[in-house]
Amino acid sequence: MTKAEQLSQLLQLADNALIIGHRCSEWCGHGPILEQDIAITNIALDYIGQARNFYQAAATLINENQESFPGFAFPLSEDNLAYLRDEREFRNHLIAELPNGDWAVTTLRIFLFSTYQYYLYTQLKDEDKTMVGAIAEKALKEVTYHLKWSSEWVIRLGDGTEESHHRISKAVDQLWAYTGELFTKGDPLQEQWLQKIQSVFAEADLTIPENTWMHQGGTTGNHTEHMGFILAEMQFLQRAYPGSQW
């Protein structure tokens, strides 16, 4: 893997964690009950922690190979990468940036995404002997909890009342078309991911939509209209007061 490919991988991992973490943080103080308010706030913090680790690794890679990455201001920090890049420079998947919607949309999004992260981080832990694999191994413990928590909510809503089943079914229809971007063609992780999704959906009495068309673009910098609003809020402090740190 070239240094450019390493950087691309690190930024995608970091951007995904940062953006979905920001979305989860928007639930702070708005959860349906106190216990779940605290749970999703902690999940948000987990994602932000993952983002920091990947951004730090990316910054180290760039700083140690300045000749390979012209155009950056050195020395580079995690804050530069999180707060001073423009929308088209972010490589997160589109599903991470979509609005939270109701509790069904939020918990289903975390389930779909944490399932993806679980198998991806497991692969990185086992196969990548660099800093990326070490970060993935540490984050896997958090992702395992995210997957357990969110799958229980999907089942609870799907196998609950008529209203809860309607809401989670509507969430499936809304989010499914954004899941295709998680995998490249022929990615063996997709089959593992799909088997887990089908298993939980069966318990929740949910059906995978039949549509085959999928949204694409996030990994190449072509985002939804929601991304600009996220960055405007998230990056304001750093841009207004340069040099601020987490």
Domain assignment of residue 230, given as a range: 3-240
206 in any annotated domain: yes
Alpha carbons 50 and 142: distance in angstroms, whole number: 9
Neighbours of 151 (CB within 10 A): 23
Asked whether 108 and 242 are in contact (CB, 8 A), the reply is: no
Overall domain count for the chain = 1
If you average pLDDT over residues 58-79, what whole number do you get? 89
Is residue 246 included in any domain, yes or no?
A: no
Q: Residue 69 has what DSSP assignment? A: S
Residues 6+ apart with CB under 8 A from 129: none
Assess if residue 229 is contained within a domain. Answer: yes
CATH number at residue 10: 1.20.1260.10
Q: Are 114 and 179 in contact (CB under 8 A)?
A: no
Establish if 147 belongs to a structural domain. Answer: yes
132 assigned to some structural domain: yes
Three-state SS at 134: helix
pTM (2 d.p.): 0.95
**Span 81-96, average pLDDT:** 96
Residue 234 is predicted with a pLDDT of 92
Q: How many other β-carbons are positioned within 10 Å of the β-carbon of residue 12?
A: 17
Model confidence pLDDT, tens digit, residues 181-217: 999 888 999 999 999 999 999 999 999 998 779 999 9
Q: pLDDT band for 128, please (50, 70, 90 cuts).
A: confident
